[in-house]
Structure 1
Amino acid sequence: MNGVLPLDATRADIIRSLLTVGYPSRKEAVKVVGRWRERMLVAMATGYLDRSLRTTRYFRSLEQTEKVGVSFLLGEAFTHWYAQRHMDVEYLVHVTGVRDCKWVTPAKSMAVKSGASPPPLKSRPDFIGIRRTERHVFESKGRQRKPSGSAEAKALGQVSALSSINGKKPTTRCATFFMLKAAGAEGKVIDPPEEQAQIGVVFDERDAMAKAYSFFLDNPTVSLADQIGPGYVGREIETDVFFGIDKKVLAAISERPASARARRVRVQEIFSILAGQEQVHEARRSDNESPGPDGTLLVDRRPRNGHL
């Protein structure tokens, strides 16, 4: 997996990913930056990346500290896109944002013992990827230049911090670097060799998946049958920009079963819904439409204009 990535993303992909990651939940985002965050993220992708994912003069005119913040968010969005598009990972959730997250010491058998001290915040990876029976670890870096050896080493240390996720060994650990350039975005993924990490994490996977749908769960949705097609609900974020979700998926994730066992069953039900709609969702892919393997769909119907 190590090496340069095929950057076949569209700007619609990046907008959908920006709306999915960036904060552990939309409620937390609202507390920090206000209810206009959704429109701001759409404006960020549109203003700072052209349709070929080259940086615009608006991005290149930013102060360096501003570029760092924008690169951070766009790096997370590219990581989300890569995980979904090229690794078939349905969900990327923040390690620090999962509900009732517990740090444990795994035994050799991968059973877990509670009470381990969590690694420092700066040493933890950014995301856990959930793909049916697989679990993945991601550290995301958005930059303007290629990473130095020390930057790569630090990221590899972060993704190597976890030896188990809910008692299972991670399928992959990925340090992702995305460089934003005038000539076009570049990406690099490094999958480090296995190390003897001593810390595991345990969390409720239904609740973690709900975090990924916080855009739809934290605010009312409306039918988007006329705007993006039957079976979708969601909202218009900006004029002619719609973010929707398969209403069957939303119905399944909206209710939180009381018991842990029932929540595990609900997770399998959601994956079954997604598997049945996989070809339908993928058929929607175009420059202006970004379907996700999680049942979401971003449609950007704004007219092309200028270099944007």
Structure 2
Amino acid sequence: MAAQQDQFNVWYTATKFPSDVRPTDLMTFSAAELAHALFVTGRAPEDRSKHGVTSVYEWIHRSTLIPAYIRRTSDGSLVRSDLARELDQSEKVSLSYALGQALTGIFSERVLSVRFLMHVDRYAARHGLAFVPGSRRRADFFGQTTSGGWVVAEAKGRSGDVDLKTKRAMRDQKRTISLVGREKPDIAYGCAAHFPKDIYGRERLKVLAIDPVEEEPEAIELPVDPDKFIQAYYEPFLAALDFGDSRDTQGDFVSVSIDSGIRMGVLRSVVDRVELAHEGRLRGLHNDVIQLLEQQVPAERPGGYFLDGTHMATKWSEALRREDWSESYIDETPWWSG
């Protein structure tokens, strides 16, 4: 069965999650969702007064990995191009790292209704948080769901299958944050994007998510202020609006085009409120933005529009459909066979 144009089909397996999360299911998402996930999971510093458009350049680099090395088959599966398979080891690691983070973002929003997801190190750097000296064992991301609860996530990416060492690391690191803003996370999970070989020898992108209940004995508290969290979340979007070309402020969104073939927008009301916070009116930002989103973001959103009041569009279609991947990938069996 052929998938709709620009739609991707990626299976996930979820282990030890709450009962309302299906143990295995198909995630169908778009290139726009992939671009959005790459953007929000970036870790570049986001204080615009100090770093300007640094994060935008980082995002452009990360986003160009997709049309350069990832291809879409006729059934919507994602595979690596032959060029990607010929990269040296460090380049393969970079690609896997970006895919792992992006698919963690997509899984978080699609399956767990996470509205805001942010790199722990980015928030810590933005607001001067200090961790235990010498401690590097902490999860990659934390975020907030549409119901207001916190999540903690660890991202991994592999060019092959997920081995036992990686699974163990996912279990360990994602439970290294015990509290977010004095609240226990609703859920903490590890998420790996990988290319396992199936019985036909095909290497399709899949996601493995793990949610063990064990907590690290030395787990830390992440002191998060909700207003500062929202400020840090939207600052890279505002930096991109400053960076992009053909800025359009008509309608509900402020939108710009980015050189890497992406158009991005943010609700104008959210932009205005975050700008006020940047000028000193930080108090109440979290509640104000949540209220704006609940008023202006419908449950049934058009493609490319997201829970955080942003939208993305890409021009990756032609590149993703290129058939520069090995014949051994060609598959006429139905995608629902898993």
**Structure 1 range deviating more: 8-17 or 70-79:** 8-17
- Residue 207 of structure 2 corresponds to 187
5 Å matches for 1:218-297? 218=239, 220=242, 223-224=247-248, 230-238=251-259, 241-256=262-277, 263=282, 265-279=284-298, 282-285=300-303, 290-297=304-311
Q: Aligned Cα RMSD in Å? A: 3.1
1:18 corresponds to 2:38: yes
Amino acid at match of 1:153: R
Where 1:54 maps in the other structure, the secondary structure is strand
Identity among equivalent positions (%) equals 20
Amino acid at match of 2:155: S
Judged with a 3 Å threshold, the aligned counterparts in structure 2 of structure 1 residues 86 and 35 are, in CA distance, closer, same or farther, namely closer
Judged with a 3 Å threshold, the aligned counterparts in structure 2 of structure 1 residues 151 and 241 are, in CA distance, closer, same or farther, namely closer
- Residue 97 of structure 1 corresponds to 122
- Residue 300 of structure 1 corresponds to 314
1:178 corresponds to 2:193: yes
Judged with a 3 Å threshold, the aligned counterparts in structure 2 of structure 1 residues 24 and 306 are, in CA distance, closer, same or farther, namely closer
Judged with a 3 Å threshold, the aligned counterparts in structure 2 of structure 1 residues 90 and 34 are, in CA distance, closer, same or farther, namely closer
Q: Distance in 2 between matches of 1:190 and 1:239?
A: 33
Q: Distance in 2 between matches of 1:164 and 1:35?
A: 30
Residues 178-198 of structure 1: per-residue CA shift (max 9 Å, x gap): 114664210011011143645
Structure 1 residue 31 displacement after superposition: 9.3
Judged with a 3 Å threshold, the aligned counterparts in structure 2 of structure 1 residues 68 and 86 are, in CA distance, closer, same or farther, namely same
Q: Distance in 1 between matches of 2:176 and 2:59?
A: 32
Residue of 146, 154, 164 corresponding to 2:161: 146
Amino acid at match of 2:190: A
Judged with a 3 Å threshold, the aligned counterparts in structure 2 of structure 1 residues 192 and 16 are, in CA distance, closer, same or farther, namely same
Residues 5-64 of structure 1: per-residue CA shift (max 9 Å, x gap): 533222221112112222243579x79989644443332111222243222222122112
Residue of 201, 205, 210 corresponding to 2:226: 205
Residue of 131, 154, 170 corresponding to 1:155: 170
How many equivalent pairs are there? Answer: 284
- Structure 1 runs (4+) deviating above 6 angstroms are 30-35
Structure 1 residue 204 displacement after superposition: 2.2
5 Å matches for 1:113-128? 117=132, 120-121=135-136, 123-128=137-142
Judged with a 3 Å threshold, the aligned counterparts in structure 2 of structure 1 residues 72 and 27 are, in CA distance, closer, same or farther, namely farther
5 Å matches for 1:51-130? 51=72, 52=76, 53-98=78-123, 99-101=127-129, 117=132, 120-121=135-136, 123-130=137-144
**Structure 1 range deviating more: 183-192 or 296-305:** 296-305
Query: Is the contact made by 1:24 and 1:94 (CA closer than 8 Å) also made in structure 2?
Result: no
- Residue 335 of structure 2 corresponds to none
Judged with a 3 Å threshold, the aligned counterparts in structure 2 of structure 1 residues 212 and 58 are, in CA distance, closer, same or farther, namely farther
Structure 1 residue 88 displacement after superposition: 1.1
Q: Distance in 2 between matches of 1:6 and 1:119?
A: 40
Residues 144-182 of structure 1: per-residue CA shift (max 9 Å, x gap): 122222221122111111211111111001100111466
Where 1:7 maps in the other structure, the secondary structure is strand
Return 5+ residue gaps in structure 1 as ranges: 104-116
Query: Is the contact made by 1:25 and 1:211 (CA closer than 8 Å) also made in structure 2?
Result: no
Query: Is the contact made by 1:4 and 1:189 (CA closer than 8 Å) also made in structure 2?
Result: no
